[in-house]
Chain A
Amino acid sequence: MIEFKNVKKYYKMGNNIIKAVDDISFKIEDGKCTVILGPSGSGKSTTLNLLGGMDTVTDGMIFLDGEDITKLNEKELEDYRRKKIGFVFQFYNLIQQLTVRENVGITADMVTESLDIDEILDGVGLKERKNLFPQNLSGGELQRVAIARALVKKPRVLLCDEPTGALDSETGKLILKLLKKVSKENNISLIIVTHNASLEKIADKVIRLKDGRIVSDVINENPLEIDEVVW
């Protein structure tokens, strides 16, 4: 279970205080797919960063499996990110000098019980491309590598920041399918941050943000299959 309790994140910019996240509270159940939706500047990426242990709160508490991560020190946050969080970036952020297999392998080496690298590459359909360098892959393939990299260490939570933002609609759908499939298979909580409203239909839960505040927090009883969604 993930829980945000009265979380605030304020930045000081000159003489102004920017309220990136302003007193938000929500809960996410394990193994579910959650979409955090909102326009630019709504605070969705900040929310993701706070949950990913990449940024610190100004106030409030964030729980994962009952542990308040806002109380963790730098070293503990490293362990937290290493063992519990998988991250998929909008622009993939692969290491250009490592091959597909190596990009996944270097992350697998971080944990003692990782998934099998070749199996997971097979799972994301990159078995035949594993010895290529990122520069030789298409956007969809790059994102699949990024997903494989995030999943290989069996994280508790998979955080995806606009995972389809740089992809065409068909490839985007394929990636979403893959994300849902692998997270379900591995009982991983999937959290997708996006400004694309079409994605709300596939989620188990949708949280809408605006100006750093939650405007709605809705459970979707009947999420659609990806192919049913009009992009």
Chain B
Amino acid sequence: MKYLNIKMLRDMKQNFTQFIAVFLMAAISVLIFSGMASVWTGLNKVVSDEVSDTNMADYYIKALGITGEDKEKLLKTDGIDKVSLSAEYTFSASDGQSEINITTVDSYDVSSFTLLKGKELLLEGQGIYLDSDYASEHNLKTGDILKIDNIAGECIEIEISGLVHSPEYFYFTGAVTETVPNYEKYGYGFVSNQTFEKLCMQLNYTTAKVKGNYISETGDFEEIFGERFICVQDRGDFAQYSRSEKESSQMKKMATLFSAVFILLSLLTMYTSMVRLVDRQKEAIGTMKGLGVKTKQILIHYASYGIFVPLLGGILGLIIGRFTVSKALMKVKQTTLYLPEWKLIHSPYSFVLIAGIMICCVFASVMAAKKVLKGNPVEIMRGNTNNSKMKKEVKETSLINHFPYGLRLAFRNIAQNKIRFIMGIVGVMGGMVLIIAGFGVKDAINSSNEFVFSKQFTYDIKGILKNSDVELEDVQYLYETAIELQTADEIKQTSLSSFEAGEFYNFYDNKENKIGLPDKGALISRHLADEMGITAGDNIKIRIPGRNEWINIYIQNTVKMLSPQGLFISKTALENAGAAFKRTGFVTDSHDANYYSDISGVKNVITRSEQLENTELVADSVMSIVKLLIMASVLLSVVILYNLGILNYVERVREYSTMKVLGFYQREIRSIAILECVITTIIGWVLGLILGRIFLKVYIKIISFDTFEWLSDASIATYVIASVIIIGVSLLVNLLLAHKIRKIVMVEALKSVE
């Protein structure tokens, strides 16, 4: 075996291009997948560790004035193990520049927090355990004094006892108008009951945080709390936590789906490369067999071709992925998620992928070697093991006789090497699909944002009210609330937006015809409607927090409302359905933002352009992944096309040199050589355009958050860019091959004809 190993190393040197292609494909596939997988594996681990360490609640029961007696009753309910009561309120920092959401609890049995710095956690005491990200943004440390305005507007000084992180604030935006975390404006903290009373003047628990495997049935809670019961939410519906799960799941879906196509392409290319590589070793295989080397040894020798190169490529991908893809992705995710720490953990699937690639390559080499080994040594050396698939004769009347010789040659080459031809098509098509998908996601985000902030919403300013009795001039009042939506099959938490008469919210049907809010019934966003199987004309039921009864709503139409997802209903229709319209916000194009933010009944204000900027920030997080995928796709396309081109060249070099000797001009040989590539590229390109469009639609649907529908219309530019890249790479490869053809040494090429 020692000499066979030496032979293997020399074969690798001799077939450097093919081995380096296999190496690169393995490296790129593993780099992309493992790079991303490390981030979501680390994210999931940190989240699950903190959830477990802090004993985070499984359910949140919202009710008014929850008492110790209520808690006792809850603890007696089957499936509930532990309960902590909490009250929270958002106070302004005394400098007026930021707000802090402060929580107090009766115990930290459920939903504690991670103490990152500071004194040991105490239920009693005067200090605050402050959000560490907020503290860092405001240069605050333990022992410093935090000045907060209490409910009466008095400045209260509280010492910072510790810096903390809570899993209940993984994705904390501070206000419903904000879509991304802003540590400068919003923070959170935990205080003792006494401190809370100093701030709020009273203590009313409004949330019971529950640990247990209780199955969500509101009936029991209505019995306990009666009229005071508002709603019950499980952890998955708790947006400040579940966003981390959603981000992780989105990242996973994006990477997995993309990598699946990517890896499939690489595997197919690696498989054919290995098969063709071994196939060219007929003489060596025949000689070895003739010399008495055992079949098993020959097979092991060729199996080793498929072990080392992909293994080294995979390991390199794993290492580089951690320092490039993982770091870049983690940096972006850090802008949208609050985590106590960020860890990169290799996913076991990355190792499975490396093993899979190796198995594929080993299988390809062994099968190819087995096929060659079927004949006796002389037959093998003569290359007679593969009976040609060419037909015997061409009839005089055959249509092909009317084609130029070059085209006949190309068609027969294709017919004889169907796998090679299909692989070429798959390579071009796959590259097109991946690049269209990559750029298409960018288009989807841009066009969706454009639609939302220039067609759906035409207000300049959106504000949130502190109290519903505030009177403002020239505004359209809104009532926005979370609701439970019930169909015959399921109940889902979603949102309801109700509007007074106005022109700042625009609704469009699927054909983008503008439609008004009806006086009877509601409109539903089409993404949610699709998800829940709701169509125009259906009757559904909704339940508003704080009200026990279900309200019947008739669905007038589904609308192209990308964000928010939910029900849209006019004030009149809502009141006709039997629910009250409570002003929670307003939209307007009068005055500027400062004018409204100075009004005492207004909680906060955001402009449409600020909303767009925030959305774009979220989009950047997705784009960071997409950019990596685009880069990898282009690189993969280059490797696949170059590899296929080189393989075609190597297998036909004798043909080209014969032509050269016979007196063919360079351009004639070149045109014959590239004709097959051109046919392959054109077919792959056309299929890529069609499949790219379909793949993009599926891809966008899968990676969309359920709160925002992304449009999947790729721009013409995307198709043009993808085409230019793929056709450009193909041309470049052909130019390189043309150069190689020019450099053919005829004498060398025609030696050792056997």
A residues adjacent to B (C-beta < 8 A)? 49, 52, 54-55, 78-79, 81-83, 85, 87, 89-91, 93, 95-99, 102, 105-107, 109-110, 131-133, 135-136, 149-150, 153
Contacts and interface: CB of A to CB of B under 8 A. Distances in A.
A96 B655 CA distance: 9
Interface stretch (B405-413, B544-552, B587-595, B710-718): B405-413
Contact of A135 (B390, B747, B753): B390
A89 B753 contact: yes
Given A82-B665, A98-B408, A93 B393 contact: no
Contact of B393 (A85, A95, A136, A149): A136
Contact of B747 (A55, A85, A107, A133): A55
A154 to B, nearest CB: 12
A96 B389 CA distance: 11
Contacts of B413: 97
Contacts of B662: 81-82, 87, 107, 110, 149-150
B665 A78 contact: yes
21 contacts: A49-B747, A52-B661, A78-B666, A81-B660, A83-B663, A85-B663, A89-B658, A97-B408, A97-B409, A97-B416, A98-B408, A109-B405, A110-B662, A131-B393, A133-B388, A133-B391, A133-B392, A133-B394, A149-B662, A150-B662, A153-B663
B390 A106 contact: no
A11 to B, nearest CB: 10
Nearest to B410: A97
B405 to A, nearest CB: 4
Nearest to B415: A97
Contacts of B95: none
Interface in B172-196: none
Contact of A95 (B658, B660, B661, B665): B658
Nearest to A99: B394
What are the nearest 10 A-B pairs in CB distance?
Answer: A82-B663, A91-B753, A97-B412, A81-B663, A93-B658, A106-B405, A54-B746, A131-B393, A135-B388, A131-B394
A58 to B, nearest CB: 14
Contacts of A149: 662
Contacts of A136: 392-393
A85 B661 CA distance: 9
Nearest to B665: A78
B654 interface: yes
A91 B663 contact: no
Contacts of B754: 91
B661 A81 contact: yes
Interface string B649-664: 0000011001111111
Nearest to B398: A131
B136 to A, nearest CB: 67
Contacts of A87: 661-662
B395 interface: yes
Nearest to A55: B747
Nearest to B404: A109
Interface of B: 388, 390-396, 405, 408-409, 412-413, 416, 654-655, 658-666, 668, 746-747, 750, 753-754
A131 B753 contact: no
Given A90-B753, A109-B405, A97 B390 contact: yes
B750 A89 contact: yes
Contact of A102 (B391, B405, B655): B405
A131 B388 contact: no
Contacts of A96: 388, 390
A174 B55 CA distance: 96
Nearest to B390: A133
A91 B394 CA distance: 24
A78 B747 contact: no
A13 B603 CA distance: 87
B409 A131 contact: no
| Most chain A CB neighbours (cut-off 10 Å) among B388, B413, B750 | B750
Given A52-B661, A93-B753, A97-B416, A102 B408 contact: yes
Nearest to A109: B405
Nearest to A78: B665
B664 to A, nearest CB: 7
Given A93-B753, A97-B412, A131 B663 contact: no
A75 to B, nearest CB: 9
Contacts of B395: 131
| Most chain B CB neighbours (cut-off 10 Å) among A55, A91, A96, A97 | A97
Contacts of B750: 89, 93
Given A89-B661, A135-B390, 13 more contacts: A54-B660, A54-B746, A78-B665, A81-B662, A82-B662, A91-B753, A93-B753, A95-B659, A97-B408, A98-B412, A102-B405, A107-B662, A133-B390
B282 to A, nearest CB: 15
B60 to A, nearest CB: 73
Contact of A93 (B654, B663, B666): B654
A99 B388 CA distance: 14
Nearest to A80: B663
A78 B663 contact: yes
A99 B664 CA distance: 18
A52 B394 CA distance: 33
Contacts of B753: 89-91, 93
B747 A54 contact: yes
A136 B394 CA distance: 12
A133 to B, nearest CB: 5
A96 B753 CA distance: 14
B663 A110 contact: yes
Nearest to B413: A97
Nearest to A85: B663
A52 to B, nearest CB: 7
A153 B661 CA distance: 13
Contacts of A106: 405
A227 B388 CA distance: 37
A168 B660 CA distance: 29
Contacts of B655: 95
A79 B664 CA distance: 9
A78 B663 CA distance: 6
A150 B658 CA distance: 12
Contact of B664 (A82, A83, A135): A82
Nearest to A45: B747
A29 B419 CA distance: 52
Nearest to B405: A106
Contacts of A95: 409, 655, 658-659
A68 B662 CA distance: 20
B63 to A, nearest CB: 82
Nearest to A105: B405
Contacts of A98: 405, 408-409, 412
B744 to A, nearest CB: 10
A82 B721 CA distance: 42
A136 B393 CA distance: 9
Nearest to B392: A136
B409 to A, nearest CB: 5
Nearest to A46: B747
Nearest to A133: B390
Contacts of A133: 388, 390-394
A105 B664 CA distance: 13
A37 to B, nearest CB: 20
A167 B97 CA distance: 97
A55 B750 CA distance: 12
A150 B663 CA distance: 10
A79 B663 CA distance: 7
B340 to A, nearest CB: 65
Nearest to B664: A110
| Most chain A CB neighbours (cut-off 10 Å) among B388, B395, B396, B661 | B661
A85 B655 CA distance: 18
B394 to A, nearest CB: 5
Nearest to B391: A133
A144 B549 CA distance: 97
